[in-house]
Structure 1
Amino acid sequence: MFAFIARQPILDGEKDVFAYELLFRDGKGGTYPEPASDKAALITERFNPLGLDDISSHKMSFINFSAETLISRFPTSLDPDRVVVELSENPGQTQGLIQACEHIKQLGYKIALDDPMMLSGQSDILPLLDIVKVDVGKIRAEHVAKRLPQYIDADVKLIAENVETHEAFTECRELGFDLFQGYFFSLPEARIARKLPASKMNLVELMGESSSEKFDLNRINQIIERDAALSYLLLRFINNPTVNKRHKITSLKHALNYMGEVEIKKFIALLSLTHLGDEKPLEIIHMSLVRAKFFDLLAQHRKQQMNPPVGFLVGLFSLLDALLDQDMPGILKQLPLVDEVIDALLGKSNEFNHYMVLVRAFESALWLNVVKQSKALDIDQKQLHGLYNQAIIWGNSVRSTISSYFPRSNTSN
């Protein structure tokens, strides 16, 4: 069970999630941590521990192990069908590590080598490898092209690491990389000024209603009834077991009576975002969901205004520029959101600027930034981890509800 952890998506050539790399705060360089002391175990248990399926949303998990752990303390309880064992150092330079890898391979685990400069053409380790990770920020394209044949011949998949732009993704895919790690997918592909299409105006109206202090049930019903898909998805969201374990909800009015105004506003906003992003990788929506829940939990803890649910809306809409391939100021001019949400999305709110730095720290395992924001927000670090873990579990659950809306991703969700 894991409490203090970050995850980074690894995508395939279609920008669907293949796996998550897990980075542990308690392990050196993000590696799998040493066995916990009694005190550490109590802390882990108290602050909302996660299992692998919780953290990785039933995807594969890449876990980095130190040589010492692999040789003497490898946790064979991990499921080899779910876990890829990642080496953080060249096996040829550590006595006994190749033999340990042979044993781990016999147990059914796949092995990946993090080889930033693509230097691992050694015959003794290559037969054991299933995957090699290459830092494309450190190696020239022509060097990659020269090295590729030996990996193709050995049936080794290649992951491009630190892919931070769409141009880098395209170049790496053309070079022959199989998988891609980096946050390129969460950036706009082309920042151009354009109006939202008329087909999305229902969604714009819903976004406005979600951020309004008033709640006009009849108005929202009118908007949703124009689109059968909206009605269907709203009921799926509201009947998600994470949200509603007891009652079968059959209408928006029924949902309002059961859930209350603020929760309905959150789901209306979520519904809008899902439809706005229906042409983009599902992982952008997933990141938005986790941010929404995390900001909502932070705002509750900080006793911020909850109606409208500003924290939830700021987190949910924080990647609108990537979803719509426009700059944020241009998008916000077209959306009828309240000033608090707009100011936060434009970086004009000190409160939400702290939230944004914090969530990016969790997404990228920048643990020193977590420490700094813990002090700035006066929230215990362990409690922050617990809130973020709650957000991950909630985001995973809602993702499973909406994944069928993304036909291209059906096979991997």
Structure 2
Amino acid sequence: MSTRPADPSLTANVRDFFLGRQPILDRNQALFGYEMLFRTADSGDANIDTDISATAAVIAHAAQLGLDKAIGEALAFINVDAEVLMSDIFVFLPRDKVVLEIVETMTVTPAILARIGELAGHGFRFALDDVVKVSDQVRQLLPLIDFVKLDLRHMPRPQLVELAHTFRQAGKKLLAEKVESRDDYDACVALGFDYFQGFYFAKPAVISGRKLSPSQLAVIEMMKLITSDADNNAIERAVKKDVTLALNLLRLVNSAAVGARYRIDSLNQAVTVLGRRQLQRWLQILLYAEPSRAGQRTTPLLMLATTRGRMLELLAQRLQPSQRNVADVAFTVGIMSLMDTLFGMSMEDILQQIPVSDDVSAALLNRTGFFGELLHLTESIEQLEDKETNIAPALRDLALSADDLVEAEMAAFEWSDNVVRYAI
């Protein structure tokens, strides 16, 4: 693969950035990939020039960062510009796991077309981002492109319909980004879109008359037994009432995420080895795992909830290392923060049924207090593409560095990926 030497500006300190990870789902609502978002840490604001430089720095240090830990089995969509395309940073990337996003405003030259063709010949795939019309540049790039991304937020519906039809006719995979509601998703499905980017799946929608599944009811019964200090035999009997729950619990406690030193073969042993605190944690996770459909590899809500929980736990451990209970509470806040979506109920109604401390309630309802600040920071990282997102002040308030944040993120991504593999 012929290249020119990487520009020195592309070798900036890999830790001087914020990392975001936007889920991309398929038509079955299963995880397909992530757009990896990088923002320079000096401002935290969305800026295309500095963001591309941050992206280049991350790619150039991919081995140090551990990109595979951030994406698991999914694809990584990464923005590139002309300077990045012409550099030698691609030797650091796993070509079978990466889709390179070309901004449509990039000037297309014969050299750029030749370089994209060369990279495609080596197995890299490309997406065309921010397409608003079928320009001459788009026509030149189209034969080399696998995916076309259309932004719902800034495109009138008639224009969206026309472009979707044009690119489908050209045999391209359509990806809708900035999908913010279930209505957006349904409309794009009808237009033939293949993939969907955004956190619409995590938006709470109160559904009248919705009932919990038998497995979810069994989990909640077990959680009540644990909080009421029931004996191990009673807890074991509760688990055995639901075969799927029992099997999933045993799979989880033998997963890499738990890190048990030897295999756990019985429910009684699981309860004894894990202890009440850890058992409650896995039950909270299993609440999200149960609604997964057959053949669905990764449920996005489970992925997001476990990542949030672990992220809050790790940040709390760093800030208050001598207070183990604080980290446990932080994990619970992260997991519970999506239960309104999971159950189709308001958070107020959930907290009436699941008693929590005032600190946890303040965090979940108002994003206030220590745990609320951690949750708000984590949610801001998830929405890193928004121009108004400014993470630096939140880090200063919590006395955290960008390095602390990225380290916690990468560990949370890896841990969540391990959990999800065993939970469904």
TM band (smaller chain): 0.7 to 0.9
**Pairing 1:13-412 to 2, within 5 Å after superposition:** 13-26=27-40, 28=49, 30-31=51-52, 33=54, 49-93=64-108, 96-120=111-135, 122-192=138-208, 196=212, 200-209=216-225, 212=227, 214=229, 216-275=231-290, 277-278=291-292, 282-303=299-320, 304=323, 306=325, 309-347=328-366, 349-365=368-384, 369-402=390-423, 405=424
- Is the Cα–Cα contact under 8 Å of residues 310 and 331 in structure 2 kept in the other structure? yes
Offset of residue 341 of structure 1: 3.4
Give the CA deviation at 1:285.
Answer: 0.8
**1-side partners of 2:177 and 2:367: how far apart?**
33
Task: Look up the SS of the partner of 1:7 in the other structure.
Answer: strand
Please tell me the residue identity of whatever aligns with 1:83. Answer: V
Structure 1 position 258, deviation (Å) = 3.4
* Cα 1:51/1:183, change in 2 over 3 Å: same
Structure 1's 132 and 375: CA in aligned 2 closer, same or farther, altered over 3 A? Answer: same
- 8 Å Cα contact 2:316-2:327 kept in structure 1: no
Q: Under a length normalisation based on structure 2, what TM-score does the superposition of the two structures give? A: 0.82
Describe the shift of the 1:381–1:92 C-alpha distance in structure 2 as closer, same or farther (beyond 3 A). closer
Deviation at 1:226, TM superposition (A): 1.5
Q: Which amino acid aligns with 2:82?
A: A
Q: Kindly state the Cα deviation for residue 389 of structure 1 after the two structures are TM-superposed.
A: 1.3
Mapped to 1, the partners of 2:214 and 2:198 lie a distance apart of: 33
**Which runs of 5 or more residues in structure 2 are unaligned?**
1-12, 41-47
User: Cα 1:11–1:271, aligned 2, differ >3 Å: closer, same or farther?
Assistant: closer
RMSD: 3.1
Say which is worse superposed, 230-239 or 199-208, in terms of deviation: 199-208
The Cα of 1:337 is off from its aligned counterpart by 4.4
2-structure distance, mates of 1:314, 1:28: 36
SS in 1 for 2:139: coil
Q: Name the CA distance, whole Å, in 1 between partners of 2:215 and 2:75.
A: 37
Secondary structure of 2:390 counterpart: helix
Shift of 1:151: 1.5
CA spacing shift, 1:202–1:35, aligned 2, 3 Å: closer
Q: Report the Cα distance in structure 2 between the residues aligned to 1:216 and 1:344, rounded to whole angstroms.
A: 31
Aligned residue pairs, count? 394
Kept in 1: contact 2:317–2:326 (CA 8 A)? no
Query: Shift of the alpha carbon at 1:65?
Result: 0.8
Structure-2 separation of matches of 1:344 and 1:57: 30
1:383-410 C-alpha deviation (Å, 9 max, x unpaired) = 12211211111000001112xx3xxxxx
- For the structure 1 residues 195 and 247, does the alpha-carbon distance in structure 2 shift closer, same or farther, using more than 3 Å as the test? same
In the alignment, is the contact (CA less than 8 A) between 1:88 and 1:113 conserved in 2? Answer: yes
Give the % identical residues: 30
The 8 Å contact of residues 195 and 334 in structure 1, kept in 2 or not, is answered as no
How many Å apart are 1:379 and its aligned residue? 2.2
Q: 1:7 is aligned with what amino acid?
A: R
